[in-house]
Amino acid sequence: MTTEAINKMDFTRLDSLITSFCQYSKELNGSALSILGASILLILSANYVSPPTPRARLIYLLFVPAWICLSASIYYHNIIMRAGAAYSFAKDQTRKLNIILSINEDYAIQLDLFQWGIFCMALWLASYLVWWIFIANLNSLKK
């Protein structure tokens, strides 16, 4: 894009786009923090039925990639918020356009990481429910 084309762009619409990206990033960040906290509390809590065998407890390893993805999503929120602040102070329109493109890419990465984290948590929940419904209940019926 040439400098003339950038100077002719209407940045008021792009300002609202930056605000939207920052807001959506903030919402994803809050959700990621809530899920991280809830999953840690789940492991530390003793008020649920846990698989008794070490082999069955391997499903808890699904928390590791989920925590990594959610933590990386939180990291990208920090990058997006810093870029949003840099955008508001930038005077050069070319610099503003580069920041917008950067935030767009970072938000896409943050969203992908969040979705992968949720996928891992959903996979753990499905595995746990299968164990709880079919295996734990069969063991209690045998007793």
Mean pLDDT across the stretch 108-126? 97
Within-domain flag for 90: yes
Within-domain flag for 25: yes
Alpha carbons 134 and 22: distance in angstroms, whole number: 44
Alpha carbons 115 and 96: distance in angstroms, whole number: 28
**Sequential DSSP letters for 24-61:** HHHHHHHHHHHHHHHHHHHHH--SS---SSTTGGGGGG
pLDDT of res. 53: 79
Within-domain flag for 5: no
**Structural domain count, the chain:** 1
Within-domain flag for 133: yes
Within-domain flag for 117: yes
Range of the domain at 22: 12-40+54-142
Alpha carbons 142 and 8: distance in angstroms, whole number: 76
Q: Which residue has the higher pLDDT, 16 or 117?
A: 117
What does the mean pLDDT of the chain come to? 87
Within-domain flag for 3: no
Alpha carbons 28 and 21: distance in angstroms, whole number: 11
pLDDT of res. 45: 83
pLDDT of res. 67: 97
Within-domain flag for 126: yes
In terms of Cβ atoms closer than 10 Å to its own Cβ (0-12, 13-18, 19+), residue 83 is: buried
| pLDDT tens per residue across span 43-96 | 888 777 777 778 888 888 999 999 999 999 999 999 999 999 999 898 888 898
Alpha carbons 10 and 23: distance in angstroms, whole number: 21
